[in-house]
Structure 1
């Protein structure tokens, strides 16, 4: 992201992006357009990389936060599609012309593809993946019982996601309106949109994991209210079991459990297993409010 913004600043300060091509040629000469094409080439490769990394980071969070079959399989498939699009877009952009330097030196022998069709295909695929990533956790989220504060945060995340999709769609239209005879002037609007989308994407990706930081900085636990929970639907019941037994989920459980007791032998085996919980015989779970106690015999033999 820093590299992308550095390219944008170089295009403005060194190549006159935002000014008409005639004025840029009068001030800097024809060699400015060579530098402009080189920086645009680097910026396009950085763009597809940034978008793919943000998508993969959001999907990785889904897989860690919701380890359910209804999320896991679509999540892995979407990660594969994002990686495939990243690879294809990177190679298509890097080798748009053969040889690549023909992009900024028109007199070099070779051939180039259709730039608008390349950007159209890549941008439309990105918008489709954005939409699918935004909708992926809905089957689980709709069955969760959340506090009002968390509902507000969730609404902000989805509002940012919808905004990203809308801006990405507008970016496609701006791409088609570019005048090839005046690239420095027409690229300004596209550059602005290209700078906003990854920034909003990073914010949206970070919001779900901010409650612990907010609690430490501001001394409030409003975003980790004990009123949060899981409903009793079939989907959520599977998540209940994952939340109880998975060590990765014990850091921020939706149901406020406090103790998991095991026989002495099972406890000793757990300590030998580097802190991982291994239940070998009886086990008991006590709720935070001491409202119920669940007992099961021989839940797992190991």
Structure 2
């Protein structure tokens, strides 16, 4: 029995391979999101909007994988166009139309999650301003991409209904090539944005190199985009989209994985110390004052212990600067880069006159 509905005989297809890739990468990205949630919510207790965004991004990626697997049943992956049953064209095109918004949402989500996470440690000034600008550009670009994708043909139903012969469609290859090129530019901007701040930080050289390498993992996403551009250029018929969809599945899930990896340091530290000491006494090291706990959104700003958290009140800020917490801090990741305000209060007691 053929994997493809309505296909005669055993038509050669890459459907199984496409399905395995989609399910495998989606499962791995799910594990990375769960581990991130455990580290951020349970260990460091410093979850934020970036954690919510990446979770929504995984849901979109999962939706894209589900649509992809279903689409293989209607012809995606067939190696020969003449093996495509004509009665499958409607459902094949409709599923491809449905899958596009899931893909666009997922690639926006991991970029936006990374950008939101930068606000946890970037100081006030040019770098935080650039982060805001790039975030807006990413949202506007992907929203525009989505609008054009949904309205690629006039009438819209022409994208999946072969019975519609009137109307017209935008040239697919130039459109997708341009979008892929612009996506690469945004990927690079998002990836290198925290490098100047991390490079100028005063943390240990070994930790600095590790952090830079973690953020540099985004280069793999750029490489995937280059593979996608090559598959876009080879598009000749609707079945040629199989490789493009497969690389798209890898791209959005790899983006989620890469975005989650830098947040797993507390988890690795926790299990490392627990294994080494054989006790759970190290649990207290992963509270809100941990050097691994990036400040939450209600804290905001930079400064604080290890330069990664900012007290939420003037009293806490004064304690952090002059009290025992500052003495315990071993490193200040953003010392000299943030804005520190110290308020001195002089209390004068005037003796009352005798009656």
Partner of 1:114: 171
Partner of 1:189: 243
Unaligned 5+ segments in structure 1 are 230-242, 261-274, 291-295
- Indicate whether 1:172 and 2:232 are aligned: no
Partner of 1:3: 63
* Higher strand proportion: 1
- Indicate whether 1:202 and 2:202 are aligned: no
Unaligned 5+ segments in structure 2 are 1-60, 277-284, 286-290, 331-340, 347-355
Partner of 1:101: 157
Deviations 1:78-113 (A, max 9, x none): 111111111111110001111111112244232211
Query: How many residues are aligned here?
Result: 255
Partner of 1:146: 204
Distance 1:192 1:39 in 2: 15
Deviations 1:237-272 (A, max 9, x none): xxxxxx9xx945799943699xx9xxxxxxxxxxxx
Aligned 1:20-99 pairs, distance under 5 A: 20-23=80-83, 25=84, 29-99=85-155
TM-score (ref. length: structure 1): 0.72
Work out which structure has the larger RCO, using CA pairs closer than 8 Å and 6 or more positions apart in sequence. 2
Partner of 1:285: 323
Q: For the Cα contact (< 8 Å) 1:3–1:46, is it kept in 2?
A: yes
Distance 1:59 1:124 in 2: 20
Distance 2:207 2:260 in 1: 17
Deviations 1:98-130 (A, max 9, x none): 111111224423221111122122211111100
Runs (4+) of structure 1 moved beyond 6 Å?
A: 249-252
Partner of 1:276: 312
Q: For the Cα contact (< 8 Å) 1:174–1:190, is it kept in 2?
A: yes
Alpha-carbon distance, 1:215 to partner: 3.1
